[in-house]
C-alpha cells in the first residue's frame, strides 16, 4: 500500500514534469493565487505534500477542482516550480480512474446559464473528465 | 638521452582510492628514458619532496614526471623542488591523475589504465624538454583603480599610504559611488555621508592620488607590471582647475527639467550641476544632453554668471595615456530594473519604489529633505510594506531576475523598517520575507531589535501581487506560518531589488582579459585562497564587482586588494614566463600572419641579411618575438603557415609526442 502510494506520487511528478525539490518555500504562488480562499490545500502546500509523498489528502480534496489553471503561480514562481502543473497532474490521477469523472456530459444541461460562457463549460468538461 | 624519474602520488585516498598507484609506477618503469619509477602517499609533503631530491642525486636524474594533482595546484611546488635538487625547473612535467582521472572515475581498473596513459604522455614530453630560463621585466610603480566608490576609495588610499602613486578613474562627475546615496548604514546606524565624505576628502588631498572624474578607461594594453592605459576624460565643458564649485551656475541655469540621477529621478536638477554638496572634485559639469547652449547655441547663462570664467563650451574629450604596474577593478553594482516585475506594479504606481529610492526619501539631502512622503501626492504614509528578494534567488527567469542572493537586502530592509518606526511611530511597517539572512557581527541582533523593540511585523511569505486602487496599494501575499492569504491596504510599497554588477564591467573585463562568471561578476583567481586577484596577472578585484557585499566587507576586500597591489609594486623586477614564442628565421616566410593574431603586440618584422647559395646574400623579411611582452598564448604558432613559429616548452614536436603517447 505504502509502495503503491509512492509509485503514484512518482507518477504524478513524472507526468507533471515538475520537480518539487526546486521549491524554496517562499509562498509567492499562494500569495498570487486568485482561488486561494476556495482551496483547502493551497499551491505551496501542493508542492510540499507531493515532495513529502503525502498525496492521499490531495487526491480526496476538492481543491483540485478549485484551481483555475490561470497559471499565475507558474508565471511568478521565482524558482520555476510550476505548481499549477502539479495540481493538474493530481487532478488527472483522480479523474482517469474509472467512474471518477468530476463532470459528466449529462450534468451539463443543469449547469447552463446565460451568464456562463459556453467555452467555460467545454473547458471544464475537458479538465474534469477522462 | 634523458634520465627520467617518475613519482606517483597517492594524495591519501584522493588518487589511491580509484587508481592502483603501485601498478601505475610499475607500468611506467619500462617507458623510454625512465630510470626510476616509484609511488608515495603525499608527494607534495616535505618528506615527498626530500624523496625526490634524494632520487635526483642517487639516479642522476635529468627530468621529473610527477603523477599527481592538477599543475595549477602544485606545479610551482615541484619546480622549486627540482631547482633545489639542481635540475632546471622546466624539466618537470605533471601528469594530472587526480582532477582529470581519479576524481572523475569510479572504476579502479579504468582509472588505473587512464593514469598510466597520462603518465606515459608526460614522459614522452619530458624526453623532448629542454632547460628554459625566464626573463625579467620592470615594474611601473603606479596603480590604476577603476571605480571611485567606497571600494575604489579605500583601495586607493591604502596603496597611496604605502608610498605608491594611484590614479582613480570614475565615470561619474564625482567619486563616492553608491555609498554617497545611502542615508544611514547598518548595523550601527551612522550616517553614510558622515563616514564617507572624510575619506573622499582624504583622496582629493592625498599627494599621491590623482582623480580622473567623469572619465572612462578607453583601452588597456601590456601585461603585469607594464600596462599601457588610455583614459578618456569626457568633456564636462567646465575647466576643472578653474571652477571653484561655488554653485552659482547650478542655480541660474534656465534648464530646470533634468531628472536628477543622484536622487534616482525623484526630483530635477539643472543642465549644469554638481551631483551633491560634498562632491569630490567639487566642480560643475554640463549635461550635454540637456544644455540649451550646446544643443542650439543660444543661452550661455552659466558662462555669464561664472566669476571664475570656468565655462568652456568648446571643450572636447581628452585622452590621457599612462603606464601602470597594477590595475584594480572596483566597478561596483546597481539595483536591477524593476520593469519586468509587473506583479509589483512598479511601473504603474509612483508609490511602489525601490529600496535605493527609499534611501533618498529618508535622506536629509534627498528630494523631500528627509521627510518620508509618498512620491505620488506628498502625503505621509501610514502603512508601508517592504518586499524582500525581488529578483534575487530567482532561478526561473534569467531575463527577469538573478539566481543569487543579493546579500545586503535583509539588513537594509531591517534598517529601513527600524528607521521608519523610530522617526514615525504612527506608521505601521510590514516586511515580507522568504528567509532573513543576517550572518555578520551584530547583524542578527539588529534585525531582532527591529522586531522586538520597534514592532516591525515580519511575515514569512512572499507578495504575489500589488494592485493600485484609488490612492492605496492592495498588497496580496501569503503568510505561510498562519497559512493565510493576506490583503494589506498599503500607502507605500518598497521593493528590495536584487543587485547586479555595473554594466561597464563586461566591456572592461574584455579590455583587461579578466574572466567573469555568467552573472558578470569578476572571477577570483581562487574562490577561497586568492579572493582579491583576477586569474589575469596584475588585475585585482575590489568590492561588489566581484560579488554582492556590504560596506564592511567591501572595505576589508578593498584593503586586501591594496595589500596585493603593494606586494606587486614593491618589486623592482618580475620574473617572466620562459614558455614564450620563438621564430625560426630560416623557416619564416615573412607573411605577417603571426603579427596580425598576436593579442599583445609582441611580434615585429625586420629585414635581415642571410647567406644565399654561391656566396650571395639575400635580404629577407623575418619575424622576431619580444620575449618580455609575449605571454605564451600560442596564437602565432597556429597561425604560422610555414611552421617557423614555435612555443618554448610547448613545441609542436612535444605536443605531437604527447598525442602519440596517448594513441599508442
Same domain, B173 and B294: yes
Where helices occur in B517-579 by DSSP H, the ranges are 551-569
Q: How far apart are CA B164 and CA B207, in angstroms?
A: 10
CA-based torsion, B52, B55, B60, B66: positive or negative: negative
- Which of B467, B500, B533 is the endpoint of a domain? B500
Phi first, then psi, for residue B205 (nearest 5°) are -90, -10
Q: How far apart are CA B335 and CA B494, in angstroms?
A: 13
Residue A47 and residue A7 in contact, taking contact as beta carbons nearer than 8 Å: no
Same domain, A11 and A69: yes
Residues 6+ apart with CB under 8 A from B157: B199, B202, B203, B206, B209, B562
Residues 6+ apart with CB under 8 A from B335: B354, B355, B356, B497, B498, B499, B500
Work out the mean pLDDT of chain A and round it to a whole number: 91
Same domain, A12 and A46: yes
Full residue range of the structural domain in which residue B152 is found: 142-332+502-569
Work out the mean pLDDT of chain B and round it to a whole number: 95
Strand-pair category, B573-575 with B136-138 = antiparallel
- Which of B545, B569, B593 is the endpoint of a domain? B569
Please check the confidence at residue B111 and state whether its pLDDT lies above 80.
yes
Same domain, A7 and A67: yes
Q: What is the pLDDT of residues B562-610, one digit of tens each?
A: 999 999 999 999 988 899 999 999 999 999 999 999 877 789 999 999 8
Q: Residue B396's pLDDT is what?
A: 75
Q: How far apart are CA A29 and CA A45, in angstroms?
A: 10
Q: How far apart are CA B577 and CA B595, in angstroms?
A: 20
Same domain, B186 and B314: yes
Same domain, A59 and A86: yes
Specify the DSSP element, H or E, that contains B73: helix B71-85
Asked if B465 and A33 come within 8 Å (Cβ–Cβ), the reply is no
Please check the confidence at residue B361 and state whether its pLDDT lies above 60.
yes
Please check the confidence at residue B466 and state whether its pLDDT lies above 60.
yes
Q: How far is CA A115 from CA A112, B112, B171, B356, in A?
A: 9, 76, 62, 48
Please give the grid coordinates belonging to residue B546.
Answer: 566581484
Q: Which of B391, B421, B413 is nearest to B403 (CA)?
A: B391
Residue B279 and residue B197 in contact, taking contact as beta carbons nearer than 8 Å: no
User: Which of A29, A31, A77 is nearest residue B476 as measured by Cβ atoms?
Assistant: A31
Closest residue, chain B, to A30 (C-alpha):
B478
Where helices occur in chain A by DSSP H, the ranges are 2-16, 28-32, 43-51, 56-59, 63-66, 72-76, 83-95, 108-111, 118-128
Interface of B with A in 524-583 (CB under 8 A): none
Please give the grid coordinates belonging to residue B91.
Answer: 624539466
Instruction: Report the range of poorest mean pLDDT among A21-30, B465-474, B601-610.
Output: B601-610
Q: What is the pLDDT of residues B517-568, one digit of tens each?
A: 999 999 998 899 999 999 888 999 999 999 999 999 999 999 999 999 999 9
Q: Is B84 on the interface with A (CB under 8 A)?
A: no
Q: Which of A25, A17, A12, A13 is nearest to A79 (CA)?
A: A25
Q: What is the pLDDT of residues B305-345, one digit of tens each?
A: 999 999 999 999 999 999 999 999 999 999 999 998 999 99
Q: List the CATH number of the domain containing B78.
A: 3.40.50
Q: List the CATH number of the domain containing B286.
A: 3.50.50.60
Q: Residue A108's pLDDT is what?
A: 86
Same domain, A25 and A48: yes
Residue B100 and residue B70 in contact, taking contact as beta carbons nearer than 8 Å: yes
Phi first, then psi, for residue B569 (nearest 5°) are -70, -20
Q: How far apart are CA B177 and CA B199, in angstroms?
A: 12
- What percentage of chain B exceeds 90 in pLDDT? 92
User: Which of A30, A37, A81 is nearest residue B478 as measured by Cβ atoms?
Assistant: A30
Q: Mean pLDDT over residues B196-201, rounded?
A: 97
Q: Mean pLDDT over residues B144-159, rounded?
A: 98
Strand-pair category, B617-625 with B603-611 = antiparallel
Q: How far apart are CA B426 and CA B420, in angstroms?
A: 9
Q: Residue B78's pLDDT is what?
A: 96
Q: What is the domain count for chain A?
A: 2
Interface of B with A in 224-243 (CB under 8 A): none
Q: What is the domain count for chain B?
A: 4
Q: How far apart are CA B100 and CA B70, in angstroms?
A: 8
Q: What is the pLDDT of residues B621-654, one digit of tens each?
A: 999 998 877 888 899 999 999 999 999 999 999 9
Closest residue, chain A, to B464 (C-alpha):
A32
- What percentage of chain B exceeds 70 in pLDDT? 100
Same domain, A107 and A93: no
Please check the confidence at residue A1 and state whether its pLDDT lies above 70.
no
Q: List the CATH number of the domain containing B622.
A: 3.30.70.3270
Using 50, 70 and 90 to split pLDDT, how confident is the model at B437?
Answer: very high
Chain B partners within 8 Å of A22 (Cβ): 395
Asked if A31 and B485 come within 8 Å (Cβ–Cβ), the reply is yes
Same domain, B159 and B276: yes
Full residue range of the structural domain in which residue A61 is found: 2-97
Please give the grid coordinates belonging to residue B62.
Answer: 635529468
Q: Mean pLDDT over residues B70-81, rounded?
A: 94
Same domain, B643 and B565: no
Amino acid at each position: 500500500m505504502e509502495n503503491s502510494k509512492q509509485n503514484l506520487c512518482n507518477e504524478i511528478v513524472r507526468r507533471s514534469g515538475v520537480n518539487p525539490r526546486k521549491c524554496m518555500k517562499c509562498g509567492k504562488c499562494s500569495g498570487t493565487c486568485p482561488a486561494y480562499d476556495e482551496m483547502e490545500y493551497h499551491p505551496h502546500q501542493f508542492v510540499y505534500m507531493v515532495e513529502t509523498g503525502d498525496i492521499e489528502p490531495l487526491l480526496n480534496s476538492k481543491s483540485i477542482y478549485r484551481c483555475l489553471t490561470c497559471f499565475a503561480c507558474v508565471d511568478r514562481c521565482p524558482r520555476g516550480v510550476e505548481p499549477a502543473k502539479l495540481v493538474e497532474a493530481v487532478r488527472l490521477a483522480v479523474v482517469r480512474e474509472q467512474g471518477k469523472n468530476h463532470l459528466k456530459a449529462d450534468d451539463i444541461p443543469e449547469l447552463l446559464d446565460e451568464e456562463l460562457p459556453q467555452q467555460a463549460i467545454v473547458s471544464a468538461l475537458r479538465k474534469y473528465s477522462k | 638521452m634523458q634520465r627520467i624519474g617518475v613519482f606517483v602520488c597517492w594524495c591519501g585516498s584522493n588518487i589511491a582510492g580509484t587508481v592502483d598507484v603501485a601498478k601505475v609506477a610499475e607500468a611506467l618503469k619500462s617507458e623510454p628514458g625512465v630510470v626510476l619509477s616509484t609511488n608515495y602517499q603525499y608527494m607534495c609533503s616535505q618528506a615527498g619532496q626530500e624523496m625526490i631530491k634524494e632520487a635526483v642525486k642517487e639516479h642522476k636524474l635529468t627530468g621529473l614526471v610527477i603523477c599527481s594533482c592538477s599543475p595549477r595546484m602544485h606545479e610551482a611546488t615541484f619546480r622549486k623542488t627540482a631547482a633545489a635538487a639542481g635540475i632546471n625547473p622546466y624539466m618537470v612535467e605533471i601528469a594530472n591523475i587526480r582532477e582529470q582521472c581519479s576524481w572523475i572515475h569510479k572504476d579502479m581498473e579504468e582509472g588505473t589504465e587512464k593514469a598510466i596513459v597520462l603518465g606515459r604522455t608526460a614522459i614522452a614530453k619530458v624526453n623532448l624538454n629542454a632547460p628554459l630560463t625566464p626573463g625579467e621585466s620592470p615594474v611601473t610603480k603606479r596603480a590604476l583603480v577603476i571605480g571611485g566608490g567606497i571600494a575604489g576609495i579605500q583601495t586607493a588610499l591604502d596603496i597611496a599610504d604605502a608610498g605608491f602613486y594611484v590614479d582613480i578613474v570614475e565615470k561619474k562627475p564625482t567619486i563616492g559611488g553608491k555609498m554617497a546615496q545611502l542615508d544611514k548604514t547598518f548595523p550601527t546606524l551612522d550616517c553614510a555621508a558622515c563616514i564617507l565624505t572624510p575619506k573622499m576628502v582624504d583622496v582629493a588631498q592625498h599627494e599621491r592620488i590623482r582623480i580622473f572624474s567623469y572619465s572612462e578607461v578607453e583601452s588597456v594594453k601590456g601585461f603585469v607590471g607594464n600596462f599601457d592605459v588610455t583614459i578618456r576624460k569626457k568633456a564636462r565643458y567646465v575647466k576643472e582647475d578653474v571652477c571653484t564649485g561655488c554653485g552659482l551656475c547650478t542655480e541660474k541655469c534656465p534648464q530646470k527639467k533634468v531628472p536628477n540621477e543622484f536622487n534616482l529621478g525623484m526630483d530635477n536638477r539643472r543642465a549644469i550641476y554638481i551631483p551633491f554638496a560634498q562632491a569630490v572634485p567639487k566642480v560643475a559639469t554640463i549635461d550635454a544632453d540637456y544644455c540649451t547652449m550646446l544643443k542650439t547655441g543660444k543661452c550661455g547663462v552659466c558662462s555669464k554668471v561664472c566669476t571664475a570664467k570656468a565655462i568652456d563650451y568648446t571643450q572636447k574629450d581628452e585622452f590621457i595615456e599612462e603606464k601602470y604596474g597594477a590595475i584594480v577593478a572596483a566597478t561596483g553594482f546597481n539595483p536591477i530594473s524593476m520593469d519586468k516585475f509587473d506583479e509589483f506594479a512598479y511601473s504603474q504606481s509612483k508609490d511602489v519604489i525601490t529600496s535605493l529610492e527609499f534611501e533618498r526619501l529618508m535622506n536629509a539631502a534627498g528630494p523631500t529633505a528627509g521627510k518620508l512622503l509618498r512620491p505620488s501626492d506628498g502625503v505621509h504614509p501610514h502603512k508601508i510594506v517592504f518586499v524582500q528578494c525581488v529578483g534575487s534567488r530567482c532561478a526561473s527567469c534569467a531575463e527577469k531576475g538573478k539566481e543569487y542572493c543579493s546579500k545586503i537586502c535583509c539588513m537594509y530592509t531591517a534598517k529601513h523598517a527600524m528607521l521608519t518606526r523610530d522617526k514615525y511611530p504612527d506608521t505601521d511597517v510590514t516586511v515580507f520575507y522568504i528567509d532573513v539572512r543576517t550572518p555578520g557581527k551584530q547583524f542578527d541582533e539588529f534585525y531582532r531589535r527591529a522586531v522586538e523593540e520597534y514592532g516591525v511585523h515580519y511575515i514569512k511569505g512572499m507578495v504575489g501581487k500589488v494592485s493600485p486602487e484609488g490612492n492605496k496599494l492592495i498588497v496580496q501575499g501569503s503568510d505561510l506560518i498562519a497559512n493565510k492569504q493576506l490583503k494589506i491596504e498599503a500607502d507605500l510599497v518598497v521593493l528590495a531589488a536584487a543587485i547586479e554588477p555595473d554594466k561597464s564591467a563586461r566591456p572592461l573585463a574584455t579590455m583587461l582579459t579578466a574572466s567573469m562568471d555568467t552573472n558578470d561578476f569578476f572571477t577570483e583567481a581562487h574562490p577561497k585562497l586568492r579572493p582579491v586577484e583576477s586569474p589575469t596577472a596584475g588585475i585585482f578585484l575590489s568590492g561588489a564587482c566581484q560579488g554582492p557585499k556590504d560596506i564592511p566587507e567591501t572595505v576589508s576586500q578593498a584593503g586586501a586588494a591594496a595589500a596585493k597591489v603593494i606586494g606587486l609594486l614593491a618589486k623592482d623586477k618580475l620574473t617572466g614566463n620562459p614558455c614564450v614564442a620563438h621564430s625560426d628565421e630560416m623557416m619564416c616566410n615573412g607573411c605577417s600572419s603571426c603579427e596580425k593574431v598576436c593579442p599583445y603586440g609582441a611580434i615585429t618584422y625586420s629585414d635581415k641579411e642571410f647567406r644565399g647559395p654561391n656566396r650571395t646574400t639575400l635580404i629577407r623579411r623575418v619575424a622576431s618575438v619580444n620575449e618580455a611582452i609575449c605571454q605564451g598564448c600560442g596564437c602565432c604558432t597556429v597561425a604560422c603557415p610555414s611552421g617557423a613559429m614555435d612555443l618554448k616548452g610547448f613545441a609542436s614536436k612535444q605536443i605531437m609526442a604527447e598525442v602519440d603517447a596517448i594513441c599508442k
